[in-house]
Structure 1
Amino acid sequence: MILARTVNEVKAQVREWKSQGLSVGLVPTMGYLHEGHQSLIKRAVAENDRVVVSVFVNPIQFAPNEDLETYPRDLEADCALCESTGAAMVFHPEPEEMYGDDFTTFVDMTGVTKELCGKSRPTHFRGVCTVVNKLFNIAMPDRAYFGQKDAQQLAVIRRMVRNLNMNLEVVGCPIIRESDGLAKSSRNTYLSPEERKAALVLSKAIFMGERMIKDGEHDGEKVLSAMRELIESEPLARIDYVEMVKWDSIEIHHKVDGPVLVAIAVYIGKTRLIDNFIAE
């Protein structure tokens, strides 16, 4: 497996693969990889001849008060997971390689970035769209793989690719959970034992909301109210949002009459966790 640290290394290798008629899959990550990331890499390996995994903690998607400096990092473990799962390359650039002194170009989106995480993290998706656009230009993938746990991000990237006529397929992959239901996240490592136990309130609320809709409840406010009540019963939990939106446009929509995304963001202590489900 190749460990590339520069844009030119990746471009040269991908051009060689493409000259041989090989397809390329890309799995963009911020590293500290877990079974959720591994599921994306496995899917990419199954569907492409070569797979590039980017490991890059992207500074421009963090606000000044967020956890850029403390975000967990373990390149050695990440490379071992990628190699054992079948990736052909890990791309691990320094911020200076991605954003030189003269960097002044950003990708802004409206509408689909307005609600949910975009409301509480207003600069976040500008950074996400910019770095993902760069990674697409660098790795030139035929397919790129994103997890549904970051559901709004998945919707945003799909819209960007469609709006800008990019020549690749965006593949969404299911949420991977711990055995007790908690959605896999690199930020789970921030949780103390007491907070880890309290964090289960997120998946409990998600499963309850899913069950209510499966049992025939189409009133979104009733579903959301029940979920909020459950989360608020946990003393260590503080709600950022509990919301229902149209799955394609991320517009607020409180009736289950088509594909809807029910998404939550909750602080457990100082750690912000997200989870969601999609229902029709």
Structure 2
Amino acid sequence: MSLVAAAKKAADRVVVTIFVNPTQFGEAADLESYPRDEARDLEMLKQAGVDVVLIPSVEEVYPGGDETIVETTRMANMLHGLVRPGHFRGVTTVVARLFNFVQPDIACFGEKDYQQLQVIKRMTRDLAFPIDIRGVPTVREPDGLAMSSRNVRLTPEDRAAALVLSQSLTAAEQAAAKGTTIEALRDLISTTVSAEPRATLCGLDIVGAEDLSDLSGDLTSPAAIMISVEFGGILLIDQRVVTP
């Protein structure tokens, strides 16, 4: 709904797409268990004054016999893309098709999946889509956990443990403001997450905020920190851009 609010401020009409995309899921079980509540979604969108809701079928998005994929060759196969092979290929392929369905002037995406945002920006630029891609800040629960449809699948114990994501990022942000190195930030986050016994750190990347380039040594420019942590089989992600 924060994306809707941002879009309403930026445009005369707002179109929302609802589509659980099968090509970006690595495991069939994850796709099947993904939370769906179309009736609730539609009611919220109606109350917000959305003009159009597009709910395509899988057959409409992926017609039988289709052979074409869209992929950013470098940005999709690094960082979180190594943890979830093929995920970003599914994202860019479906987003390109949805862009062609809707033909928007502006498209809003959340910053929580920071790599996804940068991948979509690069795809839009490279394929010359006449679309302004806008990032929208991560929305958080009162205790700091980034909102996600996956959160409802956490047990109460894992839900409490999941706060370690935002806690580790806040600690890194504070350290960055005082002056530090990339290596020290990595150690700080790893130590913080490892102190939570219910958490399994699956990915930790600290890269250039704009191009996802490798960083090392002293932190001298804005860096994007992206982490993925598993709790009881549920993979959560979070991110923070930190500055020296």
**Alignment TM class, shorter chain as reference:** over 0.9
| Runs of 4+ in structure 1 over 4 Å off | none
**Other-structure match for 1:127:** 90
**Does the 8 Å contact 1:206/1:276 carry over to 2?**
yes
SS in 1 for 2:31: coil
Equivalent residue in structure 2 for 1:238, among 179, 186, 200: 200
**Does the 8 Å contact 1:263/1:275 carry over to 2?**
yes
- Measured against aligned partners, the alpha-carbon deviations of 1:169-189 in whole angstroms (never above 9, x if no partner) come to 000010110000000000001
- Measured against aligned partners, the alpha-carbon deviations of 1:215-237 in whole angstroms (never above 9, x if no partner) come to 222x0110110110010011110
**Other-structure match for 1:97:** 60
- d(CA) in 1 for partners of 2:65, 2:13: 32
SS in 2 for 1:196: helix
Report the AA paired with residue 161 of structure 1.
T
**Other-structure match for 1:264:** 227
**Other-structure match for 1:229:** 191
Task: Count matched residues.
Answer: 242
The alignment's C-alpha RMSD in Å is 1.1
Asked whether 1:279 is paired with 2:233, we answer no
Give TM-score scaled by structure 2 length.
0.96
User: Superposition pairs for residues 118-267 of structure 1, below 5 Å?
Assistant: 118-217=81-180, 219-254=181-216, 255-267=218-230
SS in 1 for 2:42: helix
User: Superposition pairs for residues 14-53 of structure 1, below 5 Å?
Assistant: 38-53=1-16
- d(CA) in 2 for partners of 1:240, 1:65: 20
- d(CA) in 2 for partners of 1:251, 1:103: 33
- d(CA) in 1 for partners of 2:7, 2:71: 28
Stretches of structure 2 lacking an aligned partner (at least 5 in a row): none
Displacement of 1:206: 0.8
Displacement of 1:259: 2.4
Greater shift, 163-172 or 106-115, is seen at 106-115
- d(CA) in 1 for partners of 2:167, 2:122: 30
- d(CA) in 1 for partners of 2:172, 2:28: 31
**Other-structure match for 1:12:** none
Q: Cα distance 1:66–1:162, how it changes in 2: closer, same or farther (>3 A)?
A: farther
Equivalent residue in structure 2 for 1:111, among 74, 78, 85: 74
Greater shift, 104-113 or 57-66, is seen at 57-66
Stretches of structure 1 lacking an aligned partner (at least 5 in a row): 1-37
